[in-house]
Amino acid sequence: MKFSHYNDLFNYLKDKNKDINIRLEEIYDGGSSYNFRLHTTKNDYFLKLIEKSSQARIAKTMAVLPLFYSPKQLQLDEFTVRNITFNIIFMPYIDGHKLTAKQFTPQKIIDLQIMYKKLNNLKILDKYIYPQFNIIQMKNDIDELLKNSSDITYKMIDYLFWRKFKRQIIALPPSTQIIHGDLTMKNILLDSSNCLHLVDFELLRRGYITEDWAMLMLQLSGFSKLWGSVKQLKNFYKQMQCVCSDSQQWLYGIQIYYMERLRRRLTDKRKKHNLRKNLCFLCSMMRYFTVLNVFISAE
């Protein structure tokens, strides 16, 4: 989302760095905070703005950042505009690009596993971590949303996809693991040295690690859209067996992914009456049954 007080922020930063030429570039590709790249004659910085009233989010962000930066590399500042105070978190800017399927090697799996171990060793208070998804509650929510919808494409989703899908839903015991919550290719950056960096920890929550890895696997193989490759899916699943070998946990992770996509779609009023997009979405959801067959055949 675009920051409406860009000029005020730029002037504030310019006043604080009078002896340095600066350039401020906003990065807004989703999320609930405001993100910027600050160019200076010395270094480039990544700036994250969070409203000061959101103390839990600020505390959670500051608790996770030591995974990747030393205390000397992190700065916290305040910026007030029109009676709204923001915390500004300064950190080194990672000049990298998002992970691609071709770059996802066994070594990258090892690197991610190391980061997850560090993440679960952090002492983060429970109040800063979202709870585990309740798959039964998700099912009930989706049932209710589809039942109350008059949209013809949503009725098609109900009849062609959801009724069959929900008969296969499995529930697992609560997990104590901390997971990223949004392990997509854009949140895994590779720098010029091919080193991997995990970013954007705003959705940290309890859950099974396969919830994150299933999301990444479906993205890498194209199954988050319409052009998924069965061959790639099989290869990635085989490689990721070192993360977890429990087929039930993998199935659970895949079901969580599809259910959360569906729940978000049904609650997005902007896309409710877009026939073409809803039909494309239905086709992408139907790919779940192809994914399921791949997993069954792999056992």
Q: What is the end-to-end Cα distance of the chain in Å, rounded?
A: 43
**6-93 and 98-298 in the same fold:** no
Burial of residue 68 (number of CB atoms within 10 Å: 0-12, 13-18, 19+):
middle
Given a contact cutoff of 8 angstroms between Cβ atoms, the answer to whether 210 and 242 are in contact is: no
Smallest CA-to-CA distance from 67 within 218, 264, 200, 159 is with 200
Domain 98-298 homologous superfamily, CATH: Aminoglycoside phosphotransferase (APH), C-terminal lobe (3.90.1200.10)
The amino acid sitting at 30 is G
Given a contact cutoff of 8 angstroms between Cβ atoms, the answer to whether 35 and 47 are in contact is: yes
Strands (DSSP E) contained in 153-287 are 178-179, 188-190, 196-198, 205-206
* CATH code at 6-93: 3.30.200.20
Residue 272, pLDDT score: 65
Q: In angstroms, rounded to a whole number, what is the distance separating the alpha carbons of residues 299 and 290?
A: 15
Q: In angstroms, rounded to a whole number, what is the distance separating the alpha carbons of residues 124 and 203?
A: 13
Given a contact cutoff of 8 angstroms between Cβ atoms, the answer to whether 160 and 286 are in contact is: yes
Secondary structure of residue 24 in the 3-state scheme: strand
Residue 52, pLDDT score: 87
Q: Which long-range contacts (CB under 8 A, 24 or more apart) does 263-268 make?
A: 263/138, 263/141, 263/142, 263/145, 266/142, 266/145, 266/146, 266/149, 266/154, 267/145
Residue 200, pLDDT score: 83
| Spans of all domains in the chain | 6-93, 98-298
Residues in a beta bridge with 197: 189
How far from chain centre, in Å, is Cα 229?
22
Question: What's the predicted TM-score (pTM) here?
Answer: 0.86
Q: In angstroms, rounded to a whole number, what is the distance separating the alpha carbons of residues 263 and 140?
A: 10
Given a contact cutoff of 8 angstroms between Cβ atoms, the answer to whether 171 and 150 are in contact is: no
Per run of 10 residues, the mean pLDDT along the chain (length 299 residues) is 88 84 82 85 89 80 81 90 92 87 93 91 77 96 93 92 96 94 92 86 91 96 88 93 94 96 88 80 94 84
